[in-house]
């Protein structure tokens, strides 16, 4: 049974019309056009600088933030890939999770502000993300490397891990996927029944955002929809999803296909919880964040 706070938040999100952002293809095109005229900021909040050392470099055209514990050696490394339907920038909930990983897991967190669709398409974006992951793994030092992504960022993270496996065989210590968007065709038959209860997402807008990100690639190309790629040889996976999430079908399919390919999967599906609940100020979100911190700490102690 979901907590009272989580039920109240879902009601509030519906009342606030949050789902309208993805309510239609036109809504997404309008959002993309507005972002082109007035790009949203991806800068970290000033308060992060009080607990972390924050720097920024560029990898090609991508701003990449490096966030490390202030006054302490990192115990592990994290590549964090943010969500937003491939059309939205880093937001405060993303930075809040990053702060938790830095302060509680004592991780160095590398955060790419990747180029958004339609300028950033899968054929261009996935190789750069794979290069970032490869470089972080190769940097060595204390602790392991954990790949974390939420929503669209989880899809990009998984596609990058698959590409790196195919290219060199290298993998991070663990892959953590939060409400992953893994099949941009939005064609799973169970989604129609889930959609009315989702307070954040709707299929028409996600289809358009997915089309913009796919560019010239087909929707079932693994670079676009990594659910269609192989899971053999990947690092152990941890997945978080909720039953009020339109994309929970992707997580269920991942579980089935990954286990069929012999991959190790730790799976958390919480009843009544919305999309990206581990990023939200909920008791269940706190428990999920605690588990992610545990996984990163365990990776550090194993290395």
- 187 catalytic, yes or no? no
- The side-by-side arrangement of strands in the sheet containing 237-244 is 52-59, 62-69, 107-112, 76-81, 145-150, 174-178, 237-244, 265-274
DSSP string, 209-223: HHHHHHTTS-TTSTT
Which of 42, 82, 94, 275 is catalytic? The answer is: 275
Which of 134, 151, 173, 179 is catalytic? The answer is: 151
Which of 150, 183, 198, 245 is catalytic? The answer is: 245
CA-to-CA separations, 278 to 28, 127, 283, in angstroms, rounded: 25, 27, 9
Count CA atoms closer than 13 A to 102's CA, side-chain side.
Answer: 26
3-class state of residue 99 by DSSP: helix
Q: Which residues pair with 175 in a beta bridge?
A: 147, 237
- 275 catalytic, yes or no? yes
Element (H, E) at 138: helix 122-138
Q: Give the angle subtended at the CA of 160 by the CAs of 184 and 249, to the nearest 5°.
A: 35
Q: Give the angle subtended at the CA of 161 by the CAs of 159 and 166, to the nearest 5°.
A: 95
- 290 catalytic, yes or no? no
Catalytic center residues:
151, 245, 275
């Amino acid at each position: 049974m979901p907590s009272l706070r989580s039920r109240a938040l879902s009601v509030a999100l519906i009342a606030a019309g949050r789902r309208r952002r993805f309510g239609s293809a036109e809504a997404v095109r309008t959002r993309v056009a507005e972002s082109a005229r007035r790009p949203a900021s991806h800068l970290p909040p000033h308060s992060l600088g009080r607990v972390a050392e924050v720097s920024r470099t560029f990898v090609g055209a991508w701003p990449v933030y490096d966030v490390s514990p202030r006054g302490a050696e990192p115990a592990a490394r994290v590549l964090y890939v943010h969500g937003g339907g491939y059309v939205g920038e880093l937001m405060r909930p993303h930075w809040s999770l990053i702060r938790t990983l830095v302060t509680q897991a004592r991780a160095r967190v590398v955060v790419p502000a990747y180029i958004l669709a339609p300028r950033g398409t899968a054929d261009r974006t996935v190789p750069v993300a794979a290069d970032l992951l490869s470089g972080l793994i190769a940097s060595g030092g204390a602790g392991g490397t954990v790949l974390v992504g939420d929503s669209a960022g989880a899809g990009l993270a998984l596609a990058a891990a698959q590409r790196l496996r195919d290219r060199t065989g290298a993998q991070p210590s663990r892959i953590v996927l939060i409400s992953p968007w893994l099949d941009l065709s939005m064609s799973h038959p169970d989604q129609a029944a889930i959609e009315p209860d989702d307070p954040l997402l709707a299929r028409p807008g996600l289809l358009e955002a997915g089309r913009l990100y796919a560019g010239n690639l087909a929707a079932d190309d693994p670079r676009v929809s990594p659910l269609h790629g192989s899971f053999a040889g990947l690092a152990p996976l941890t997945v978080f999803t909720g039953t009020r999430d339109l994309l929970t079908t992707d997580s269920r399919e991942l579980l089935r296909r990954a286990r069929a390919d012999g991959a190790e999967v730790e799976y958390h599906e919480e009843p009544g919880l919305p999309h990206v609940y581990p990023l939200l100020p909920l008791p269940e979100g706190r428990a999920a964040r605690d588990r992610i911190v545990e996984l990163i700490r365990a990776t550090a102690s194993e290395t």
